[in-house]
Amino acid sequence: MKSRYQEALDKIQEVKEKRLDFLDLSFMYLGKIPSEVGQLTHLRFLNISHNYLYQIPDEIYDLPYLVELNLTYNYLSFDTFQSLSKLQHINFLYLYGNPAFEKIPDEIKYHGIDAILNYSDDITFYQNTTTLFELKLLLVGNGEVGKTTLMKKLMSNFSHKVIVGQEPTTHGINIHTWKIKSTFPAVEPFFNLKAELYEKGLDISDYYRMMAFEDLNLIYEEEEEEEEEEEYFDSYDDYKEYLDFDFKSNRPNKSKKNLIASLINGYDAEEETIKKEVKINIWDFGGQEIYHSTHQFFLTKRPIYLLVWEARKEEDYNMFDYWLNIIKYLSRNSPVIVVMNKCDVRLKDIDEFGLKKKFNNIITFTKVSCLTGEGLMQLMEMIQRNLVHLPHLADRLPKTWVNIRDNLYELNKDYITLEEYFSICKEYNLTTKKALFLSEYLHDLGSILHFIKDTMLENIVILNPEWATEAVYKLIDTKIIQISKGRFKIRDLRNIWDKEKYPTDKHHTLVRLMEKFDICFNIVSTEDYIIPELLPSAKPINFDLTSHDSINNLRFEYRYNFMPAGILSRFICRLYYLIENEIFWRNGVLLKHEETFALVINEPYDKKIRLSIFGSDKYGTLSIIRNEFENIHKTLNLEKYVDYNEMIPCICPSCISSNAGYYFKYNVVKNFERKGKRTIDCQQSTYDVSINDLLTGYDIRNTKISLLQNIIAALARLQGNYKIVNRQEDSRNSYVAGLIDNGNFISKDQTRWGQSESGLSAGELDIKIENSNRMTIGIFEGFNLSYLDKITISRHLKKIFNYDANGLKENYIVIYAETSSFIDLWNKYLNYIKDIDFDYPLIGNIKDVSDLYSPGAEIKICLSYHERNTEKSRLYHFFVNMFTK
């Protein structure tokens, strides 16, 4: 019978002879991979999962075409992760199931190989690490059910005195820190003897010496009554070997448990438990409906939730359905304790079995009275008992990281500059790169807010998240903002926010934060901002809804099983640059793209959003809208065909002329098509409907239009923030690059790519744009212009063509016009470029397409076509008014 090693050699030989690009050595339980695998230089896919590998075979690093490597369920150590830098060329690397990998915090793994390298570099040795016992406890529920009072009771160890009717209402979010002592089993990850000894200033060798051979006689005397005979050790080395083996099992014997108890505070030798201080960050959410959509941005996947309700309210079903679904989707099924408050006043039975069946993250149901104290101790015990089940608690982190975090807390500041943050990290010998990795981790953890990929937010590190959340809720709560239906200017904030807490130089930063969270948007070419959640519920009086909602329009719907609040508000904030003539309200918006109009209506009571589109590019416009909704659904963790469905209208003779026609699930029709079906039955009229006709146009997904609109949106936002973005063209280009860089596109500014203007050497390109597959799809050149400087214009036009080494189909040149005569300069520019002798000949006339694409009068756009090796290439020219009086 062949050995497994020989079987592996045979498989390698077969792949070599047949020139196969895939090798599967999984489930062979090998301790070592044959070195012959290094001969498979053509290999692209390698699966060595489910073996006994403790390090990555060296030969794998020399496989030049390898794109996928599966290392799951082996025994890779932290030391091995340092070699991952040699695998940067691999597109798909699978590491889960390795014990060391599973101990890495999720927030680190999320950011990929670089983050894992940075983490493992600092955590290789136990003396450099510490364990983080910290979590969030979120109190949610409707208004006036006693969440804040319950929080005060818990934090005061039940001593807070309740005065009925005098507890203040929470506006927005209150954040408080609560420290408790909690007991954990003395096993990983809560307890590690080596790490505990190091934290006490002891080495594991000290432990060995204390348990050395000369002390064994005493130990044997204490245990001589035991029936099982003790093993005798002839030397210290023999005993140390036994200790090593026993230590790995993490089950110390009685004598060792007693010694551990004498060395480690909180260790209970009898129960084999360890007592630790846990820091709980309590977030108390205001329950008023006006806050619901905004709350979603601060719900995370790490906390325990207390869903608080009271029996006097008559809204049980809707309340449970809303909050439990929000937790399910936005917090990835975080554990929930359902708390009936004010049980001294009234009790009510609810269908606990049915709720637990639908929401399996519910831990338990309980009832309390903050007035009498009933049930509070039991609730405290429930919270403590369930700490042990939190997968993220007791993350082992580099001690340096924790020290820096503690240093930031001790500053007792709301925010610091990025330079100040770097300076603190430097004191702990952290490089700039590692400091940024740490800020990302602390941001994901919720300890700080730092958006390193946003050019307007990267230079501020918010140490106190409540500082930011309080500003947002204060604005939403302000009566004058509510009266103005969510409309405000930056200068209005001086009368709303406290001047000392929120200096005027931070107002633009906070508004940018609100834009990033899709809480508000800037009306193009104005200083006005809008908070969609505060818009009037009725459509504008002067807007004729029926003229834009004809049955002859292209129709499309989203229907939800659960519909989180604020989906349409987010949509409006993202596609604000397409809004037509300020026609928007809380549940609707009219968009214009080229010569096409799209009416988007939210119908929350029916849990649907419907689209009605007419014009010359109906399907292209639908594609843009669908892409945006798809991105929003991803942020809400809504799964297509499970949590919502895309619906297309029936086109049978009965339905096509009716406002109440039947709608098919889009994926069902596609499934019929895949199965070779030609028709499908209308479920209302029973007519046979052609599947091909039904799907016409709905499969169009035009990413080129989407890229163009992304650039227009970025320029519109730059224009809205012209006062705070540095006037230098590099700063403006960097700002635009940051906005273009999203899930669909990757922008790289100041990239060494192509030729310089002279053609002699590599030069600096302003922005290169790639798609999600890292393919370059366009280049962007932006510059300032205050008058018709022909030399500057010609130089930049020449530059963009020289940089385009690949002959791309579409490129973009942007002029930041700094003149009071904007239209005059625009016309002069159009006349001038018509006569330029381009390196690649002009095809036809230059077209002014501002009416098709521009979101307002302050951005002009023209399009020129150029011939390049018999192919047609498009060049979009953007003229952006950046003049300041």
534-592 residue pLDDT tens: 999 899 988 988 888 888 899 999 999 989 888 999 999 988 888 998 999 999 999 99
94, 143: one domain: no
Are residue 227 and residue 375 in the same domain, yes or no? no
Beta strands at 871-881 and 810-817: parallel, antiparallel or unpaired: parallel
Query: Is the residue at 679 inside a domain?
Result: no
169 and 302 assigned to the same domain: yes
Tell me the H-state helices in 501-609: 507-516, 567-574
CATH of the domain at 56: 3.80.10.10
- Are both 172 and 243 inside the same structural domain? no
On the question of pLDDT at 283 being above 60, the answer is yes
> In the structure, what pLDDT confidence band is assigned to residue 751 with cuts at 50, 70 and 90?
very low
Last residue of a domain, one of 102, 122, 145: 102
Residue 196 counted as domain residue: no
Whether 715 and 831 share a structural domain: yes
In a domain, 123, yes or no: no
Domain CATH code at residue 446? 1.10.10.10
Question: Is the pLDDT assigned to residue 104 strictly greater than 80?
Answer: no
444 and 592 assigned to the same domain: no
User: Are 358 and 332 contained in the same domain?
Assistant: yes
Residue type, 444: D
- Indicate whether 671 belongs to any domain: no
Sign of the C-alpha dihedral, residues 122, 123, 125, 129? positive
Q: Are the C-beta atoms of residues 718 and 735 closer than 8 Å to each other? A: yes
Question: Residue 122's pLDDT is what?
Answer: 62
Q: What is the pTM of this model?
A: 0.74
Q: Is residue 614 part of a domain?
A: yes
> What is the gyration radius of the CA atoms in the chain, in angstroms?
32
Q: How many domains does the chain have?
A: 6
Q: Would residue 673 count as lying in a domain?
A: no
Q: Is the pLDDT of residue 821 over 80?
A: yes
Alpha helices in 636-784 (DSSP H): 666-674, 691-695, 703-720, 729-740
Q: Tell me the backbone φ, ψ of residue 269, rounded to 5 degrees.
A: -70, -35
Between CA 613 and CA 591 the distance in angstroms is 9
Q: Read off the pLDDT of each residue in 777-790 and give the average, rounded to a whole number.
A: 91
Under DSSP, is residue 630 helix (H, G, I), strand (E, B) or coil? helix
Distance between CA 852 and CA 876 in Å, rounded?
13
- pLDDT tens-place string over residues 456-486: 888 999 999 889 888 988 898 899 999 999 9
C-alpha to C-alpha distance for 462 and 443, rounded to whole angstroms: 9
631 part of a folded domain: yes
3-state secondary structure at position 22: strand
Q: Do 404 and 521 have their domain in common?
A: yes
Range of the domain at 783: 703-881
DSSP string of 252-293, one letter each residue: --HHHHHHHHHHSTTEETTTTEEEEEEEEEEEEE---GGGHH
Q: Half-sphere exposure of residue 224, counting CA atoms within 13 Å on the CB side?
A: 6
Angle at 850 between CA 848 and CA 856, to 5 degrees: 155
Whether 554 and 488 map to the same domain: the answer is: no
Is residue 681 predicted with pLDDT exceeding 80? yes
CA distances from 808 to 269, 473, 733, 780, 798 (A): 71, 46, 20, 12, 15
Tens of pLDDT, residues 619-672:
888 988 998 899 899 888 899 999 999 999 999 999 988 888 999 999 999 999
Whether 737 and 858 share a structural domain: yes
Q: Is residue 497 part of a domain?
A: yes
- Note whether 207 and 315 are same-domain residues: no
Pair 581, 618 in one domain? yes
The pLDDT confidence band at residue 377, using thresholds 50, 70 and 90, is very high
> CATH number of the domain that 310 lies in?
3.40.50.300
